[in-house]
Amino acid sequence: MTVNRRAALGLAALAAAPLPARAVTPVSQATAPPDPTETIRLWPGAAPGGERVTVTPKVVERSTDPSFHDRFAQYTTDPILTVLRPERPNGASLLLIPGGGYKWAVVDKEGLDVARVFAAAGVTCYVLRYRLPGDGWAAGPDAPLQDAQRALRLVRARAAADGLDPARVAVLGASAGGHLAGMLTARADVTYAPVDEADAAPFRPDLSILLYPVATMADPYVHAGSSKEMLGESPSPEAIARYSLERMTWSGRPPVFLLHAIDDAAVPVENSLQLLSALRTAQVPAEVHLFQEGGHGFGIRLIGGKPASAWPELAMAWAARHGW
Q: Is residue 260 within 8 Å of residue 270, measured between CB atoms?
A: no
In angstroms, the CA 54 to CA 56 distance is 7
Q: Which of 265, 204, 210, 248 is nearest to 99 (CA)?
A: 210
Secondary structure (DSSP) of 240-259? HHHH-GGGS--TTPPPEEEE
pLDDT value at position 123? 99
pLDDT value at position 30? 75
pLDDT value at position 29? 54
pLDDT value at position 184? 99
pLDDT value at position 20? 43
In angstroms, the CA 167 to CA 250 distance is 20
Task: Report how far apart, in Å, the C-alpha atoms of 209 and of each of 23, 122, 243, 258, 273 are.
Answer: 37, 17, 18, 6, 15
DSSP character at residue 306: S
Contacts (Cβ under 8 Å, ≥6 apart) of 220 = none
In angstroms, the CA 324 to CA 316 distance is 8
Q: Which of 172, 187, 198 is nearest to 311 (CA)?
A: 172
Q: Mean pLDDT of successive 10-residue segments in the chain (324 residues)? A: 41 40 47 91 98 97 92 98 98 99 97 98 99 98 99 98 97 99 98 98 99 99 98 97 98 99 98 99 98 96 92 98 97
Contacts (Cβ under 8 Å, ≥6 apart) of 4 = none
In angstroms, the CA 288 to CA 258 distance is 5
| Helix residue spans in 160-299 (DSSP H) | 176-186, 224-231, 237-243, 270-281
Structural domains in the chain, CATH included, are: 39-322 (3.40.50.1820)
